[in-house]
């Protein structure tokens, strides 16, 4: 395992190199380019050395294009909505960026509504922009307003871990009771279950497993679930 | 950057619904305190207090100064507290926020004006030399109920602190280094603890003790009570517009007394445990 600090040069080389989060290509006057890290963390790459990225944990979200996030509507400005996605700047969402939305028929959002959306534009000099449909099909594909349920907050690494299908937590919880979950990579997880105590159990499990907090393993969670009244 | 938005509608509805059934998001009972963890630093008077993810660091240091002419027989205590953006992204540097003003005033009332520290015992030479104690409070992380955590950290730091021994012969004042003579602890009249209860807009919902960040932001009002284990009330502060019946306040005081007794045993035990590790062999 290699750990890097921001600014370190990374020996990533491939004819068809793809850089993931935390890596940046810089070119100097001699037209030669090098790869440097912009984040502290563990340097990882695929087996064929084609894709490189940095695995790190943080609490502050930096938007990146095509990532699914959960946001809270905080204001309306003209036709757009201002949405808080936990980043340094508020994101904007076009009022027509929903499936089947027209000038006449647009979704009825209120200030404080929760949204599951996709980052469509993330540029360092501009406000992030969101969309609530799939880029190719222009269908909702699960994006849109999240009604009811509860919003749990966790570290960014935890939200990525939950998205991994091989991670133990969600299947384990799903075997105990039915639940709906939407995971935003901005460290927000929307949970909906029939019983409030189940939602609370999920929230507490996420907090316990979070590497930022307890970092509990599968056995620990099973024991912990046994102590809860579910 | 604008202030972060208030909790979203689903969060609000779920929290109110769950609280109505007596369920809290961290699995606590409505009147259950997060057990505080106290850790002591290498220096005397350096205490870190953690309640869940809320963390506060308190530090006491003392020096000799000339007393104010109005109170020549009393020592001076100053409390420095600042909520920096380190605690939470909600706080901005510079201009003190409302929470910060409330907290500073509350700390002043609970720790200084409740006469917890015997100020006259800090006097070395009347009108000439007194001890000036400076209590610095750093808020490291805010996950709700920063005030109680800060008060606890502050009072434990004062209990933990020991000042160097002083000898006065005529006009001559000698300060003995801790390695020469054992430093003496401050003389405290009592140890006040602060408890915060949050009330919700729906009056049928029970009040909760030690609110989390979300509960605090969704509450209609908070009642902070500072008292000691001997049932002596120091401060009662109510913020927010929720109406409270006199009986309710008395009931809350009774609960707070219970909690103060429990907390007092915990604090005394931790201080003793820490003191046991600080044996210095004298040869």
Tell me the C-alpha distance between B13 and B253, whole Å.
29
Residue B117, beta-bridge partner list: B188
Tell me the C-alpha distance between B82 and B150, whole Å.
11
**Alpha-carbon Rg for chain B in angstroms:** 21
Residues of A with Cβ-Cβ distance to B23 under 8 angstroms? 196-197, 200
Nearest CA in chain A to B12: A150
Tokens of B212: 């989390």
Residue B282 is predicted with a pLDDT of 61
pLDDT of residue B172 exceeding 90, the answer is no
A149 and B CB contact within 8 Å: yes
Tell me the C-alpha distance between A184 and A205, whole Å.
17
Put simply, the answer to whether A113 touches B14 (Cβ < 8 Å) is no
The boundaries of every CATH 3.30.1370.10 domain in chain A are 150-226
Name which of B85, B33, B92, B81 is nearest B264 in CA terms.
Answer: B33
Tell me the C-alpha distance between B16 and A150, whole Å.
11
Mean pLDDT of chain B: 90
pLDDT of residue A30 exceeding 80, the answer is no
Rounded to the nearest angstrom, the gap between the alpha carbon of residue B262 and the centroid of all alpha carbons in its chain is 16
At B248, phi and psi to the nearest 5? Answer: -65, -45
Torsion over CA of B134, B140, B141 and B144, rounded to 10 degrees?
0
Q: Is A95 helix (H, G, I), strand (E, B) or coil?
A: strand
Residues of A with Cβ-Cβ distance to B22 under 8 angstroms? none
A72 and B CB contact within 8 Å: yes
Tell me the C-alpha distance between A173 and A151, whole Å.
17
From the list A88, A89, A196, the residue facing B18 with the nearest CB is A196
Q: CATH fold of B36-278, please?
A: Ribosomal Protein S5; domain 2 (3.30.230)
Residues of A with Cβ-Cβ distance to B89 under 8 angstroms? 60
Give the pLDDT band (50/70/90) at residue B1. Answer: very low
Q: Please give the model's pTM, rounded to 2 decimal places.
A: 0.88
The label of the residue with tokens 């006259």 reads: B120
Give residue-wise pLDDT tens across range A183-195: 999 999 999 999 9
Give residue-wise pLDDT tens across range B74-131: 999 999 998 888 888 778 777 778 888 889 999 999 999 998 999 999 999 888 999 9
Residue B3 is predicted with a pLDDT of 56
Residue B192 is predicted with a pLDDT of 94
Put simply, the answer to whether A197 touches B9 (Cβ < 8 Å) is no
Residues of B with Cβ-Cβ distance to A74 under 8 angstroms? 2, 5
Residue A115 is predicted with a pLDDT of 93
Report how many Cβ contacts below 8 Å link chain A to chain B.
59
ipTM: 0.88
Residue B5 is predicted with a pLDDT of 59
Tell me the C-alpha distance between A155 and A161, whole Å.
10
Give the pLDDT band (50/70/90) at residue A213. Answer: confident
User: Is residue A36 within 8 Å of residue A23, measured between CB atoms?
Assistant: yes
Rounded to the nearest angstrom, the gap between the alpha carbon of residue B199 and the centroid of all alpha carbons in its chain is 21
Give residue-wise pLDDT tens across range A124-149: 899 999 999 988 888 888 899 999 99
Q: How many CB atoms lie within 10 A of CB B120?
A: 13
Tokens of B21: 């059934």
**Range A150-226: architecture per CATH:** 2-Layer Sandwich (3.30)
Domain A3-55 indexed as CATH 2.40.50: yes
Residue A114 is predicted with a pLDDT of 93
Instruction: Assign domain A68-146 to its CATH superfamily.
Output: Nucleic acid-binding proteins (2.40.50.140)
pLDDT of residue B243 exceeding 60, the answer is yes
Residues contacting B57, CB < 8 A, separation 6+: B46, B47, B48, B49, B137, B138, B140, B153
Tell me the C-alpha distance between B189 and B186, whole Å.
10
What percent of chain B stands above pLDDT 90? 63
Mean pLDDT of chain A: 90
Put simply, the answer to whether B5 touches A74 (Cβ < 8 Å) is yes
Put simply, the answer to whether A150 touches B11 (Cβ < 8 Å) is yes
Angle at A140 between CA A137 and CA A146, to 5 degrees: 160
Pick the more confident residue, A138 or A114: A114
Residue A124 is predicted with a pLDDT of 87
pLDDT of residue B22 exceeding 50, the answer is yes
Residue B280 is predicted with a pLDDT of 66
CA distance, residue A82 to nearest chain B CA (Å): 11
Residue A47, beta-bridge partner list: none
Among B70-74, B86-90, B161-165, B231-235, the minimum mean pLDDT is found in B86-90
Residues of B with Cβ-Cβ distance to A149 under 8 angstroms? 10, 14
pLDDT of residue B183 exceeding 50, the answer is yes
Nearest CA in chain B to A213: B53
Residues of A with Cβ-Cβ distance to B53 under 8 angstroms? 213
Tell me the C-alpha distance between B276 and B283, whole Å.
19
* B147-169 mean pLDDT: 93
Put simply, the answer to whether A114 touches B4 (Cβ < 8 Å) is no
Q: How many CB atoms lie within 10 A of CB B136?
A: 18
User: Is residue A61 within 8 Å of residue A102, measured between CB atoms?
Assistant: no
Residue-wise DSSP of A175-202? HHS--EEEEETTTEEEEE-SSHHHHHHH
pLDDT of residue B155 exceeding 90, the answer is yes
């Amino acid at each position: 395992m290699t750990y890097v600090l921001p600014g370190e040069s990374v020996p990533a080389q491939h004819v068809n190199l793809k850089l993931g989060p935390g890596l940046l290509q810089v070119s100097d006057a001699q037209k030669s380019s090098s790869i440097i890290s912009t984040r502290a963390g563990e340097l990882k790459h695929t087996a064929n050395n084609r894709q490189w990225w940095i695995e790190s944990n943080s609490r502050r979200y930096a938007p990146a294009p095509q990532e699914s996030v959960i946001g809270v509507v905080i204001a309306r400005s003209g036709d757009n909505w201002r949405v808080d996605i936990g980043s340094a700047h508020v994101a904007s969402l076009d009022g027509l960026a929903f499936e089947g939305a027209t000038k006449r028929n647009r979704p009825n959002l209120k200030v404080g509504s929760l949204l599951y959306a996709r980052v469509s534009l993330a540029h360092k000099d501009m406000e992030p922009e969101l969309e609530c449909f799939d880029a190719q099909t222009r269908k909702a594909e699960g994006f849109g307003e999240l009604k009811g349920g509860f919003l749990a907050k966790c570290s960014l690494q935890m939200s990525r871990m939950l998205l991994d299908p091989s991670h133990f937590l969600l299947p384990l919880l799903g075997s105990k009771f039915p639940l709906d979950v939407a995971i935003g990579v901005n460290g927000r997880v929307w949970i909906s279950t029939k019983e409030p105590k189940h939602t609370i159990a999920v929230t507490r499990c996420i907090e316990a497993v979070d590497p930022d907090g307890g970092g509990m393993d599968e056995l620990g969670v099973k024991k912990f679930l046994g102590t809860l009244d579910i | 950057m604008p202030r972060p938005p208030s909790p979203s509608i689903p969060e609000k509805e779920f929290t109110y619904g769950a609280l109505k059934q007596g369920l809290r998001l961290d699995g606590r009972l409505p009147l259950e305190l997060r057990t505080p963890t106290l850790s002591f630093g290498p220096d005397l008077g350096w205490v870190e207090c953690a309640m869940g993810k809320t963390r506060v660091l308190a530090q006491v240091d003392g020096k000799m100064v000339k007393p104010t002419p109005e109170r020549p027989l009393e020592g001076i205590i100053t409390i420095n507290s600042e909520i920096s953006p380190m605690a939470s992204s909600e706080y901005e540097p510079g201009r003190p926020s409302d929470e910060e003003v409330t907290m500073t005033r509350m700390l002043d009332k609970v720790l200084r004006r409740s006469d917890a520290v015997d100020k006259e015992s800090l006097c070395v030479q009347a009108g000439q030399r007194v001890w000036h104690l400076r209590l610095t409070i750093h808020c490291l992380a805010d996950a709700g109920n920063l005030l109680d955590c800060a008060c606890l950290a502050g009072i434990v730091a004062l209990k933990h602190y020991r000042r160097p021994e002083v000898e006065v012969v005529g006009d001559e004042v000698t300060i003995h280094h801790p390695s020469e003579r054992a430093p003496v602890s401050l003389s405290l009249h009592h140890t006040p603890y602060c408890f915060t209860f949050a009330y919700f807009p729906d009056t049928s919902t029970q009040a909760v003790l030690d609110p989390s960040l979300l509960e605090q932001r969704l509450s209609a009002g908070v009642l902070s009570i500072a008292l000691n284990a001997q049932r002596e009330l120091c401060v009662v502060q109510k913020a927010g517009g929720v109406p409270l019946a006199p009986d309710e306040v008395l009931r809350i005081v009774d609960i707070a007394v219970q909690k103060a007794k429990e907390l007092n045993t915990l604090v005394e035990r931790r201080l003793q445990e820490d003191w046991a590790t600080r044996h210095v062999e004298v040869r």
